[in-house]
């Protein structure tokens, strides 16, 4: 899924005659939207045979093979998004501000948030890639890991 982003970064770097430094990806994950967080958490705990790695009222995360599978509240994070087809790639990075600047340079009209959104220990921003896919980059403070 990151090929368009990597290709765009390569093209941008080639235009300047230099290759960009690695983005500093720390973990890859995805999330699904849920209307009933308790029901969804119970379902995925049963499916994965594991308890969540962390749980907040509107965000629950499971460690799946060192990736993060999360369930997020539709009411809190995605009002108006229809049920189904709601999987969204999101990627944890070591320097969210640097990642924001990179994305801003690569797809300035693709940003879906005005800046970095911070909600407790969770900070993120969303953008549309060159193929109109919505991608989210995030960071999570140590206390929320």
- Per-residue pLDDT band at 6 (split at 50, 70, 90): very low
In terms of domains, do 59 and 107 share one? Answer: no
> What pTM was computed for the model?
0.59
* 1, 8, 33, 90, 101 from 30: Cα distances, Å: 12, 22, 10, 5, 22
In terms of domains, do 62 and 101 share one? Answer: no
In terms of domains, do 77 and 114 share one? Answer: no
Domain that holds residue 37: 27-91
pLDDT for the residue 8: 47
CA distance 98 to 88: 21
Domain assignment present for 109 = yes
Of 73, 91, 109, the position where a domain reaches its end is: 91
In this predicted model, what pLDDT tens digit does every residue of 7-61 receive, in sequence order? Answer: 445 445 555 566 788 889 998 888 888 999 999 999 889 888 899 999 999 999 9
């Amino acid at each position: 899924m990151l090929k368009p982003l990597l290709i765009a970064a390569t093209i941008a770097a080639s235009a300047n005659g230099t290759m960009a430094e690695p983005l500093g990806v720390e973990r890859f994950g995805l999330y699904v939207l849920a209307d009933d967080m308790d029901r969804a958490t119970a379902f995925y705990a049963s499916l994965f045979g594991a308890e969540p790695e962390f749980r907040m009222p509107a965000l629950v995360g499971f460690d799946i093979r060192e990736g993060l599978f999360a369930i997020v509240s539709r009411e809190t994070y995605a009002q108006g998004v229809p049920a189904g087809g709601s999987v969204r790639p999101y990627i944890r990075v070591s320097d969210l501000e640097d990642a924001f600047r990179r994305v801003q340079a690569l797809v300035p009209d693709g940003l879906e948030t005005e800046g970095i959104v911070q909600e407790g220990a969770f900070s993120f921003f969303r953008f549309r890639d060159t193929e109109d896919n919505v991608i989210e980059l995030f960071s999570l403070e140590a206390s929320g890991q």
